[in-house]
Amino acid sequence: MKKNSQIIVAIIVIGIIFLYTFRSGNSFPKNQKALSLANTAPEALLLSQLIDSQNRFADCIDEISKISTVPFSTEQIEKGKICRSSISTEVLKTGKNTYQVFYMQNLPVGCASQNTVLKPLSITVDVSTGQASAEWQNGISFSDKSMQNIRESIQTKDCKAFAEYITTHGTIR
């Protein structure tokens, strides 16, 4: 009798695990598909390049401060070195096949200013059609020239070349 009840409990536990796995597995791929579609949107790629450029600035601030016509204090240089950021995402289901993907900029404590937009981009994705529409927050927009400058700045080979690029192409004057 005791053995039968153990078998019944084991079957129930296995059934619960199976149902949980099936249920989670059903929604997880759609979240992943939404994220994948959002990540290939031109705006998401631009945001990634922008963060790469900002992090390159942090890596190269010593060289930038040497050639910039804008003076940097020792405190600005030290703070600039630690203010590297990253991007995280949050996927929110908003309809049967639609998802909202929020892109957040993660910064160390003390690095964000009052003008920093911490959730700069959201992309709405319809996983059934593959369509995505992006919206920059707080009126952020980029001209073709600024997008080109961002892309070209991260293609420079070293800190000296990066510093020269951003001081001659209007990023820092």
- The pLDDT assigned to 19 comes to 52
- The pLDDT of residue 142 is above 60: yes
Domain ranges across the chain: 2-168
Separation in Å, CA 18 to CA 7, 12, 29, 30, 158:
16, 10, 17, 19, 53
Backbone angles phi, psi at 143, to 5 degrees: -80, 165
Q: Who contacts 156 (Cβ-Cβ below 8 Å, separation ≥6)?
A: 56, 162, 164, 165
Beta bridge partners of 117: none
How much is the pLDDT for 145?
87
**pLDDT score of 148:** 87
pTM of the full structure = 0.76
89-136 residue pLDDT tens: 999 999 999 999 999 999 898 888 877 788 899 999 999 999 999 999
User: Residue 26: pLDDT band by 50, 70, 90 thresholds?
Assistant: very low
pLDDT of residue 6: 61
Whether the pLDDT of residue 5 is over 80: the answer is: no
Each residue of 27-76: pLDDT tens digit?
A: 557 789 999 999 999 999 999 998 998 899 999 999 999 988 888 899 98
Residue 13 has pLDDT above 80, yes or no: no
Indicate the average pLDDT of the chain.
Answer: 83
Confidence of residue 22 (pLDDT cuts 50, 70, 90): very low
